[in-house]
A and B are shown apart, each in its own frame.
Chain A
Amino acid sequence: MLIIDCPWCGKRPEIEFRYGGEAHIARPADPSALSDEEWADFLYNRTNPKGLHAERWRHIHGCGRYFNALRDTVSDFFVTTYKAGEARPEHPRPDVEGSGT
């Protein structure tokens, strides 16, 4: 069972959290301006990468907050977590990369 570092509460076991899908997919400001294809792309298409994946998690049995995480989908390890609204870290800090903390 992974330990996930909630940016608000700190390290907690995985069972306190719920997965929330890919991060940084903003709801369009004016959906009506989008074509059907563009809207379908927003609704359904996700990157599904092999490797680093930015994704949303919610500390549902804790503070209740959504936050974002970078997780390696190959190893299932969290590289880092950050608050919702913050930009995806471009270069994960070398001292935490791979540490899973």
Chain B
Amino acid sequence: MTNRFRTPSGGRIDRAAPVSFRFDGQTFSGFKGDTLASALIANGVHLVGRSFKYHRPRGFLSAGSDEPNALVNVARDAARSAPNLRATQVEIYQGLKASSQNRWPSLAFDAGAVNDLASPFLPSGFYYKTFMWPAGAWKRFYEPKIRAMAGLGVAPTVPDPDRYTQNYAYCDVLVVGAGPAGLAAALAASENGAKVWLADEQAELGGSLLSETSATIEGMPAAEWLKATLATLAARDNVTLLPRTTAFGYFPHNLIALAERVTEHLAAPGADLPRERLWKLRAKEVVIAAGALERPLVFPDNDRPGVLLADSGRTYLNRYGAKPGERAVVFTACDAGYRAALDLKAGGVTIAAIADLRAEVSGELPARALAAGIDVRPSTVVVGTKGRLRVASAQLAKVKNGQVGPAETIACDVVLMSGGFTPSVHLFSQSRGKLTWDVASGAYLPGTSVERERSAGAARGVYGLQRVLEDGYAQGEAAALASRDFASPARGTTPAPAASSRAFPAVADDLGADGFIGATPHGRNPALAKAFVDWQNDVTSKDIQLATREGMRSIEHVKRYTTTGMATDQGKTSNMNALGIVSEALGESVPKIGLTTFRPPFTPTTFGIFAGEARGDLFDPVRKTAIHDWAAEHGAAFEDVSLWKRAHYFPRAGEGGRMEDMHAAVARECRAVRASVGIFDASTLGKIEVVGPDAAEFMNRIYTNAWAKLEPGRLRYGVMLREDGFVMDDGVVGRLSHDRFHVTTTTGGAPRVLAHMEDYLQTEWPDLDVWLTSTTEQWSVIAVQGPKAREVLRPLLPDIDLSKDAFPHMSVREGSILGVPTRLFSVSFTGELGFEVNVPAEYGRAVWEAIYASGERFGITPYGTETMHVLRAEKGYIIVGQETDGTATPDDVNLGWAVGKAKKDFVGKRSLARAAMSAPDRKQLVGLRTADPKLVLEEGAQIVADPKAPVPVPMLGFVTSSYASAVLGHSIALAVIKGGRARIGQKLSVPMADRVIEVEVVEPVFYDPKGERLNA
């Protein structure tokens, strides 16, 4: 296709650099510097999408990031496929492949367009009102169908191979927006010594100056002044220029999130470059120079391809040399329509007519239009457009005394509209600044600030090129000066209007401050006319009027009911018109209706930039013990326990070379521990060193147990409660000397326990002289468990007398093993004779291997967490978090013996004294036996007395742990049951989906109830 709509010269495109690209499979050509939108317009293509709800054909509405219609998919390959990009922001490169969205089977013929014909049946609130019956159909039928029909682009199904980086940065003054106000602000701030960042979402810095062909600044054409100014700024060491960078989020204390698109515009991105960069920029002062957004006019059929914003039409022509059409009708409520008409006429576009909503048309621009022979019609509205996939005519009618007269049809292939400008207050609103309604300009303007920011230029309602430049300079200067005194208060202030210390004589068209918000009159049957307010969500003026008739009064309600302003463009082009329509319908002034809050992101932002490097292996830290690699080499299957990788079981090749499954491996490991000896990596246990003259007193207060009389060299099982009396953690504690305790915690509970201890130590008992140190990572813990444990260790520990009398169960000895210092615990979590060898983590593997070698004559068996669980359950030992759920007292889980009754106080003691904490019907830990010994209950299964009782069947409790016990030859389960201990011997039921399982309540200790094996 040819560039039929390309001007012969002009624009900022590089005509020496042609670029070919594909859109919906068709090859087009454009130039370097084109956006996808400008290149398509130069090729005469306006139909680029189908609307969200009615599948109406849609073209370009704007030329910038406010574009609601022209959302496209750009794909380099299957993985690098980005949906929902605004064609107005996509820079073309050689070979770019883009496609339209939300159409089937094709853009020109879309089956979903039947929705448009059915639109009388799709009013606002339609979904709330219609898809309610039958129950359950929403999930099964309506939602999937609606989602398939509506919707935006399609996410890629393969992982994104590109890299996204995240960076912290700091500056004195951040200027957002590099239009005339932002450039002047950056000049002023940098001249005052501030470290300045200037960010702009566009590929080129310059903002509205990029579309200027006639204006002059300081005697230079605007484009030359822009070039010189950018060169000046670039040459300054204290200035950082960031094109293609969107300030998308304004967070407290001037943390601004900037999304920099690094490679999106490159045909062949270098592998060294990230695709996007997230800048988390902390700025001392911010100047918001985000400009203003042109408002559409709300008239029937204003969404037909070829109907676009007047100033955007001017941008396509002036900046890109792309004529939006050959014959234009202009519909305007301000002088911007005239400026666009005059520029387009100069560019060779016929201006068929200018319909001006205003009755009085005066001023320089209208006068020039009349002088140029343009048909200017005051008090005239567009009441409709015609054309199937592109506008072919507009219907114009006079408005007299509020009555719309007969329509005249005027042929055209483009309609330019302008309802005036809305200051872009999005970032200011995000910063939680308070907007004020300016009656004179009919706009919300930045009022009271919350953050240390100030707006400049059109973003605060200052118009006219010279005034904007001087306002920008003044605000930039004020920001630089304020940044020197960073400690000064800024919150709740309104920046004083500053005067510019530099003049910027400029000659440019003055657009004045006229404009219109709301829907323009059309006199047509309202049931048949669709005047769009929100293009992206397909909301019409009628929908908004209906919402007010149905009782919505606040704009917040109207917004949610009609979805106006809730699309991905956040209502950039629609919010003010929606307000105007509600205001007129309710007869209330706009500020009484309110304004919805703008929230980040300013424009849609990729998931990639938020994820950054935190994906795949780097998503979450992985903690491995010193013995991890040994376990991996010996075929362990691992499981995740908090961030730790723990050996779950060690499958071996069985008969016929087949690998054991978990059940077989665990059965073998359990038998080995009970019959001979096993070795287990317990290094993940949390460990805290509690040291100081008051260490014993501290332990007394934190744990339920009595510690004062625990002799150095002894261990005790400790129970820790929260202040509300419920079990928080448990673990074995060794007293090494009068002022030193070696505390262990559960694997997942270590940070919580340390924080709990620190909290009490720092804030309740600062008088106690105690130091807490996390030593979890410092110790490797090797558990040697089983009747042969002593014989395995004895040859390695010549210095320590391991005999039963010298080193009884629950003792700790310090010594050395293989020349490595060790704290040796005689402790068991299996019910067998057992030891835990603590050695510095860097020697963990070496000591493990030595113990393993020493145990080989007994067939020492490495076992994992699953076997550990079975063995402890056979003994009725609890796991905090499995048998407890945050509502269990020590007595509930049979740990009443660990509570120091004689102690005056400890954390949680007072709560235990509440009557409810010792009520007889509390859930208590018991054992369960199934009638069928092979049947293993499901953990979490509910327990009832009579499964045939009328619903709701009273629940007595639930299964907390359940395993097949190879050693005992039957299944075992632990459960918490109301009044459980009194029910021992009773038969209860566990109702499952397919059957009811009968169980008997038994003592929770299934194996060696007298504990004789521990002291063997």
The judgment on whether A and B are partners is yes
Establish whether residues B490 and A99, one from each chain, have CB atoms under 8 Å apart when the complex forms: yes
Establish whether residues A34 and B910, one from each chain, have CB atoms under 8 Å apart when the complex forms: yes
Establish whether residues B759 and A66, one from each chain, have CB atoms under 8 Å apart when the complex forms: yes
Determine if A98 is an interface residue (Cβ-Cβ < 8 Å).
yes
Establish whether residues B251 and A1, one from each chain, have CB atoms under 8 Å apart when the complex forms: yes
Q: Which of B192-200, B238-246, B760-768 contacts A (4 or more CB under 8 A)?
A: B760-768
Known: A1-B253, A20-B759, A31-B905. A43 touches B723 (CB 8 A): yes
Which residues of A are found within 8 Å of B388, using beta-carbon distances? none
Which residues of A are found within 8 Å of B156, using beta-carbon distances? none
How far is B887's CA from A37's CA once the two chains are assembled, in angstroms?
20
Establish whether residues B913 and A32, one from each chain, have CB atoms under 8 Å apart when the complex forms: yes
Interface residues of B in 467-489 (CB under 8 A from A): 487-489
Determine if A3 is an interface residue (Cβ-Cβ < 8 Å).
yes
Known: A32-B905, A60-B755. A84 touches B911 (CB 8 A): no
Determine if B584 is an interface residue (Cβ-Cβ < 8 Å).
no
How near does chain B come to A1, taking the closest CB pair, in angstroms?
Answer: 5
When each residue 198-217 of chain B gets 1 if its CB lies under 8 Å from chain A and 0 otherwise, what string results? 00000000000000000000
Establish whether residues A84 and B762, one from each chain, have CB atoms under 8 Å apart when the complex forms: yes
Which residues of A are found within 8 Å of B492, using beta-carbon distances? 98
Which residues of B are found within 8 Å of A76, using beta-carbon distances? 252
Determine if A7 is an interface residue (Cβ-Cβ < 8 Å).
no
Establish whether residues A95 and B755, one from each chain, have CB atoms under 8 Å apart when the complex forms: no
How far is B253's CA from A65's CA once the two chains are assembled, in angstroms?
23
How far is B904's CA from A65's CA once the two chains are assembled, in angstroms?
28
How far is B767's CA from A85's CA once the two chains are assembled, in angstroms?
11
Establish whether residues A99 and B759, one from each chain, have CB atoms under 8 Å apart when the complex forms: no
How near does chain A come to B424, taking the closest CB pair, in angstroms?
Answer: 24
When each residue 29-62 of chain A gets 1 if its CB lies under 8 Å from chain B and 0 otherwise, what string results? 0111010100100010000000000001010100
Among B252, B432, B487, B904, max chain A CB count under 10 A is at B252
Which listed residue, A1, A66, A98, A99, touches B487 by the CB 8 Å rule? A99
How near does chain B come to A63, taking the closest CB pair, in angstroms?
Answer: 11
Establish whether residues A75 and B910, one from each chain, have CB atoms under 8 Å apart when the complex forms: no
Establish whether residues B904 and A39, one from each chain, have CB atoms under 8 Å apart when the complex forms: no
How far is B751's CA from A60's CA once the two chains are assembled, in angstroms?
11
How far is B431's CA from A75's CA once the two chains are assembled, in angstroms?
11
When each residue 716-741 of chain B gets 1 if its CB lies under 8 Å from chain A and 0 otherwise, what string results? 00000001100000000000000000
Determine if A26 is an interface residue (Cβ-Cβ < 8 Å).
yes
Establish whether residues A32 and B910, one from each chain, have CB atoms under 8 Å apart when the complex forms: yes
How far is B904's CA from A32's CA once the two chains are assembled, in angstroms?
8
Determine if B914 is an interface residue (Cβ-Cβ < 8 Å).
yes
Establish whether residues B910 and A2, one from each chain, have CB atoms under 8 Å apart when the complex forms: no
Determine if B491 is an interface residue (Cβ-Cβ < 8 Å).
yes
How far is B701's CA from A30's CA once the two chains are assembled, in angstroms?
12
Establish whether residues B723 and A100, one from each chain, have CB atoms under 8 Å apart when the complex forms: no
Determine if B450 is an interface residue (Cβ-Cβ < 8 Å).
yes
Which listed residue, B255, B450, B488, touches A1 by the CB 8 Å rule? B255
How near does chain A come to B282, taking the closest CB pair, in angstroms?
Answer: 8
Establish whether residues B491 and A99, one from each chain, have CB atoms under 8 Å apart when the complex forms: yes
Interface residues of B in 279-318 (CB under 8 A from A): 282
How far is B905's CA from A75's CA once the two chains are assembled, in angstroms?
40
How near does chain B come to A60, taking the closest CB pair, in angstroms?
Answer: 7
Determine if A17 is an interface residue (Cβ-Cβ < 8 Å).
no
Determine if A27 is an interface residue (Cβ-Cβ < 8 Å).
yes
Establish whether residues B253 and A3, one from each chain, have CB atoms under 8 Å apart when the complex forms: yes
Establish whether residues A56 and B724, one from each chain, have CB atoms under 8 Å apart when the complex forms: no
Interface size class of B (residues with CB under 8 A): 20 to 34
When each residue 951-963 of chain B gets 1 if its CB lies under 8 Å from chain A and 0 otherwise, what string results? 0000000000000
Known: A32-B905, A77-B491, A99-B489. A85 touches B252 (CB 8 A): no
Which residues of B are found within 8 Å of A39, using beta-carbon distances? 910-911, 914
How near does chain A come to B671, taking the closest CB pair, in angstroms?
Answer: 45
Query: Would you call the interface of chain B mostly helix, strand, loop, or mixed?
Result: loop
Known: A1-B251, A39-B911, A101-B487. A84 touches B766 (CB 8 A): yes
Known: A1-B255, A32-B905. A43 touches B911 (CB 8 A): yes
Interface size on A, residues (CB 8 A): 33
Determine if A89 is an interface residue (Cβ-Cβ < 8 Å).
no
Establish whether residues B491 and A84, one from each chain, have CB atoms under 8 Å apart when the complex forms: no
How near does chain B come to A26, taking the closest CB pair, in angstroms?
Answer: 7
Known: A31-B909, A76-B252, A100-B253. A66 touches B489 (CB 8 A): no
Known: A43-B723, A84-B763, A85-B766. A1 touches B252 (CB 8 A): yes
Which residues of B are found within 8 Å of A95, using beta-carbon distances? 489
Q: Select from chain A the residue with minimum beta-carbon distance to B255.
A: A1
Q: Select from chain B the residue with minimum beta-carbon distance to A31.
A: B910
Determine if B758 is an interface residue (Cβ-Cβ < 8 Å).
yes
How far is B253's CA from A58's CA once the two chains are assembled, in angstroms?
20
How near does chain A come to B169, taking the closest CB pair, in angstroms?
Answer: 13
Which residues of A are found within 8 Å of B911, using beta-carbon distances? 39, 43
Among B450, B489, B904, B909, max chain A CB count under 10 A is at B489
How near does chain A come to B797, taking the closest CB pair, in angstroms?
Answer: 37
How far is B252's CA from A101's CA once the two chains are assembled, in angstroms?
11
Known: A1-B253, A64-B758, A101-B487. A26 touches B764 (CB 8 A): yes
Which residues of B are found within 8 Å of A98, using beta-carbon distances? 489, 491-492
Which residues of A are found within 8 Å of B282, using beta-carbon distances? 3
Which residues of B are found within 8 Å of A56, using beta-carbon distances? 763
Which residues of A are found within 8 Å of B723, using beta-carbon distances? 27, 43
How near does chain A come to B972, taking the closest CB pair, in angstroms?
Answer: 37
How far is B450's CA from A64's CA once the two chains are assembled, in angstroms?
30
Which residues of B are found within 8 Å of A2, using beta-carbon distances? 252-253
Which residues of B are found within 8 Å of A3, using beta-carbon distances? 253, 282
Known: A26-B764, A43-B911, A85-B766. A75 touches B450 (CB 8 A): yes
Which residues of B are found within 8 Å of A36, using beta-carbon distances? 914-915
How far is B755's CA from A18's CA once the two chains are assembled, in angstroms?
11
Q: Select from chain A the residue with minimum beta-carbon distance to B251.
A: A1
How far is B762's CA from A3's CA once the two chains are assembled, in angstroms?
23
Which residues of A are found within 8 Å of B758, using beta-carbon distances? 58, 64, 66
Which residues of B are found within 8 Å of A31, using beta-carbon distances? 905, 909-910
Interface residues of B in 885-943 (CB under 8 A from A): 904-905, 909-911, 913-915
Establish whether residues A66 and B763, one from each chain, have CB atoms under 8 Å apart when the complex forms: yes
Which residues of A are found within 8 Å of B910, using beta-carbon distances? 31-32, 34, 39
Q: Select from chain A the residue with minimum beta-carbon distance to B493.
A: A98
How near does chain A come to B366, taking the closest CB pair, in angstroms?
Answer: 48
Q: Select from chain A the residue with minimum beta-carbon distance to B432.
A: A75
Which residues of B are found within 8 Å of A65, using beta-carbon distances? 762
How far is B913's CA from A20's CA once the two chains are assembled, in angstroms?
26
Q: Select from chain B the residue with minimum beta-carbon distance to A72.
A: B491
How far is B488's CA from A99's CA once the two chains are assembled, in angstroms?
7
How near does chain A come to B705, taking the closest CB pair, in angstroms?
Answer: 18
Interface residues of B in 749-778 (CB under 8 A from A): 755, 758-759, 762-764, 766
Q: Select from chain A the residue with minimum beta-carbon distance to B758.
A: A64
Which residues of B are found within 8 Å of A96, using beta-carbon distances? 489
Q: Select from chain A the residue with minimum beta-carbon distance to B762.
A: A66
Which residues of A are found within 8 Å of B766, using beta-carbon distances? 84-85
When each residue 443-458 of chain B gets 1 if its CB lies under 8 Å from chain A and 0 otherwise, what string results? 0000000100000000
How far is B762's CA from A38's CA once the two chains are assembled, in angstroms?
24
How near does chain A come to B611, taking the closest CB pair, in angstroms?
Answer: 17
How far is B228's CA from A21's CA once the two chains are assembled, in angstroms?
56
How far is B282's CA from A91's CA once the two chains are assembled, in angstroms?
30
**Top 9 A-B pairs ranked by shortest CB distance?**
A31-B910, A99-B489, A3-B253, A98-B491, A66-B762, A2-B252, A1-B255, A27-B764, A66-B763
Known: A27-B764, A31-B905. 16 other contacts (CB 8 A): A1-B252, A1-B255, A18-B755, A31-B910, A32-B905, A36-B914, A39-B914, A43-B723, A56-B763, A58-B759, A60-B755, A66-B763, A75-B491, A85-B766, A98-B492, A100-B491
Residues of B within 8 A of A (CB): 251-253, 255, 282, 432, 450, 487-492, 723-724, 755, 758-759, 762-764, 766, 904-905, 909-911, 913-915
What would be 16 A-B contacts, judged by CB atoms less than 8 Å apart? A2-B252, A2-B253, A3-B253, A30-B904, A36-B915, A60-B755, A64-B758, A66-B759, A66-B763, A75-B432, A77-B252, A84-B766, A85-B766, A96-B489, A99-B491, A100-B491
